[in-house]
Amino acid sequence: MEEKVYEVPADWAKRAYVDDTKYRAMYEASVRDPEAFWGEHGKRIHWFHPYHRVKNTSFAQGKVSIRWFEDGTTNVAYNCIDRHLPARAKQTAIIWEGDDPAESRHVTYQELHDEVCRFANVLRNRGVGKGDTVTIYMPMIPETAFAMLACARLGAIHSVVFGGFSPDSLASRIADCRSKVVITADEGLRGGRKVPLKANTDAALERLGNTVEHVVVVRRTGGAVNMEPGRDVWYHEAAKMVTSECPAVEMNAEDPLFILYTSGSTGQPKGVLHTTGGYLVYAAMTHQYVFDYHDGDIYWCTADVGWVTGHSYIVYGPLANGATTLMFEGIPTYPSISRFWDVVDKHKVNVFYTAPTAIRSLMQAGEEPVTRTSRASLRLLGTVGEPINPEAWEWYHRVVGEGRCPIVDTWWQTETGGILITPLPGATRLKPGSATRPFFGVKPEIVDAEGKVLEGPAEGNLVIADSWPGQMRTVYGDHKRFMDTYFSTYPDKYFTGDGCRRDADGYYWITGRVDDVINVSGHRMGTAEVESALVAHPKVSEAAVVGYPHDIKGQGIYAYVTLMAGEQPSEDLRKELVAWVRKEIGPIASPDLIQFAPGLPKTRSGKIMRRILRKIAEDEFGNLGDTSTLADPAVVDDLIHNRQNKR
């Protein structure tokens, strides 16, 4: 197959921080002597006390320990705000675009300072200090960024929970990190529809007993909500009682900054823990180089701050760089399918970063909703969250970017803190569908099932051989789980959970998860979580969940469900189960297809053979592999015969 290659546009080679020659030299230096490289680049942020020790990391079996800049002290909020004030007090830090196109707001760095200090004082008055955890369950409004930065200012650890999660999901995340303070809003607003955030919070707290002492409620829609006297306080009222000065607490580089829960192959979501110094250095540096961010650029990442992309590339990376970052409350299709491009024109966006699923869904509506807008300000496009198919890449490039904007296809994970494999727009020839080459300091390797490192063009599993500053440090409260999950499959290496191919040019092509994690519209879902939600339903006896290829979402959720004896499958029950999962986890976990199965394929020892279920969901019946270990081979015929297909 002829591979398409896009050269670096001439104007990009000229304006960018790095061209190909410089990339190669910097990359080579970064992996040859990480101490020297990061010792130098660590200085890009302000340190109250400079570090002397740069890298102290080990991936060794049973002894995994990751420490960067460990004797330095700093504060993330200081770096994202105070440090910029002499030059940027009047510059816009955050452009907020509301769900309603008539609503937008510019927050300058000075205002950001004042708002964050006020928020920090409100929290401090409620006992929040260094090392405390605060759960943030908020819509996409500037106050969400203020709340995160306020925690960072005080040295508190925030745990942002995506506003689309259910009360149960919120409750288990509050319980896991034992937050005594929760920040939420009356309601969120998306596509003209209200999201009952405060009501969900109330429901979550009811399940938890009296563990949460304070709920700070930001008024967004003005909708009626219940306020629990003594526990709940309106933010706008509390903020009136405090000043706009609050000192930034001096933090050690390795003090925790935030927890973010993410799905894995097994069990409950785990609390990915990121710390202060290395995370910020890495988020800021990748933001600058990957998006080639220059002063004055208007930068827009469409992610939600409930995900890591929002943490690193809406809030921390851009603000550490003194950038202007756009925060969008709404959805791509409201009030019209041109919304993204209308916002680009309205705010003269230069850099636009989104998910492949959004591109695929907009593609369906044809070119006109795009071409009727100008988009003249756009210079660079980016994608994140899942593999992008070449057709969607080409459409994004040709229609949205009019052939003049390079696309940075950025591969990374909640665990990695920042982008690990990506083109640099002034340096990298692009191949549609490839995340291309490693960022500075990143050592990807491809290994086979036995862990043998494969050289040259190869396909296998993706591991990273050495640490980088943005790497997660542990699973909150469970270091053993951290080591078992990421460092035991391939001893002494970080295992990503992704499959990958490397071509003859050394370009990396991510092929998707190789574990029981599925990627639905760029959102990570553990199949185990959906299964446990399904079996919690009184009529369900057993469930197995797998991913299947979905034209828009990338992967859809396919659930095989065995009912309790005496229960009859029906369309109504199918709907009931979908609604049930939405209620248990949240809308992002809704099964796309449910197949009622009298039995699931199991080994004689009772283990469900997911490989077979995956093949059936993917329509690959001819290729089921070895079925000789099945306890009851007839089960498979029934599954094939009754498979669901609504693609």
Paired with 518 in beta bridges are: 525
Stretch of residues binding ligand WTA (CB under 6 A), selected from 79-87, 379-387, 544-552, 555-563 = 379-387
In the complex, minimum distance from the CB of residue 222 to ligand WTA, in angstroms, rounded to a whole number:
33
Backbone angles phi, psi at 472, to 5 degrees: -60, 150
Separation of alpha carbons 474 and 487, rounded Å? 11
435 vs 464, which CB is nearer to ligand WTA?
435
- The answer to whether 410 is a known ligand-binding residue is yes
Stretch of residues binding ligand WTA (CB under 6 A), selected from 154-162, 331-339, 408-416, 584-592 = 408-416
Stretch of residues binding ligand WTA (CB under 6 A), selected from 175-183, 276-284, 304-312, 570-578 = 304-312
Separation of alpha carbons 425 and 9, rounded Å? 9
The answer to whether 265 touches 528, Cβ cutoff 8 Å, is: yes
Per-residue binding letters, 488-507, with ligand WTA (x by CB under 6 A): --------xxx---------
Cα 627 to chain centroid, rounded: 37
307 vs 580, which CB is nearer to ligand WTA?
307
417 touches ligand WTA by CB under 6 A: no
525 vs 561, which CB is nearer to ligand WTA?
525
The answer to whether 483 touches 62, Cβ cutoff 8 Å, is: yes
Q: Measured between alpha carbons, how far is residue 46 from residues 49, 108, 301 in Å?
A: 9, 20, 25
Residues 6 or more apart whose CB falls under 8 angstroms from that of 411 comprise: 384, 419, 420, 421, 422, 435, 498, 508, 510
Q: Measured between alpha carbons, how far is residue 599 from residues 60, 374, 543, 591, 615 in Å?
A: 43, 55, 10, 19, 16
338 vs 416, which CB is nearer to ligand WTA?
416
The one among 409, 445, 531, 584 contacting ligand WTA by CB under 6 A: 409
- Tell me the one-letter amino acid at 566: G
How many C-beta atoms surround the C-beta of residue 24 within 10 A? Answer: 13
How many C-beta atoms surround the C-beta of residue 633 within 10 A? Answer: 11
In the complex, minimum distance from the CB of residue 486 to ligand WTA, in angstroms, rounded to a whole number:
12
Side-chain half-sphere CA neighbours of 389 within 13 A: 15
Q: Where are the alpha helices (DSSP H) in 178-247?
A: 197-208, 235-240
431 touches ligand WTA by CB under 6 A: no
- The answer to whether 481 is a known ligand-binding residue is no
In the complex, minimum distance from the CB of residue 519 to ligand WTA, in angstroms, rounded to a whole number:
5
347 touches ligand WTA by CB under 6 A: no
- The answer to whether 256 is a known ligand-binding residue is no
The one among 30, 410, 485, 644 contacting ligand WTA by CB under 6 A: 410
DSSP at 516 = S
252 touches ligand WTA by CB under 6 A: no
- The answer to whether 540 is a known ligand-binding residue is yes
307 vs 395, which CB is nearer to ligand WTA?
307
82 vs 386, which CB is nearer to ligand WTA?
386
Per-residue binding letters, 307-346, with ligand WTA (x by CB under 6 A): xxx-------------------------------------
Region of residue 500 (left: phi > 0; alpha: psi -120 to 50; beta: else): beta
414 touches ligand WTA by CB under 6 A: yes
Stretch of residues binding ligand WTA (CB under 6 A), selected from 89-97, 251-259, 407-415, 635-643 = 407-415
Is 329 exposed, middle or buried, given 0-12, 13-18 or 19+ CB atoms closer than 10 A? buried
526 touches ligand WTA by CB under 6 A: no
308 vs 589, which CB is nearer to ligand WTA?
308
Separation of alpha carbons 71 and 55, rounded Å? 10
Separation of alpha carbons 396 and 407, rounded Å? 8
589 touches ligand WTA by CB under 6 A: no
Beta strands in 431-493 (DSSP E): 444-447, 453-454, 458-464, 474-475
The one among 412, 486, 490, 558 contacting ligand WTA by CB under 6 A: 412
Binding-site residues from annotation for Mg(2+): 535, 537, 540
Contact positions toward ligand WTA, by CB under 6 A? 262, 307-309, 384-387, 409-414, 435, 496-498, 510, 512-513, 519, 524
Binding-site residues from annotation for ATP: 385-387, 409-414, 498, 513, 524
Binding-site residues from annotation: 190-193, 309, 385-387, 409-414, 498, 513, 521, 524, 535, 537, 540, 582
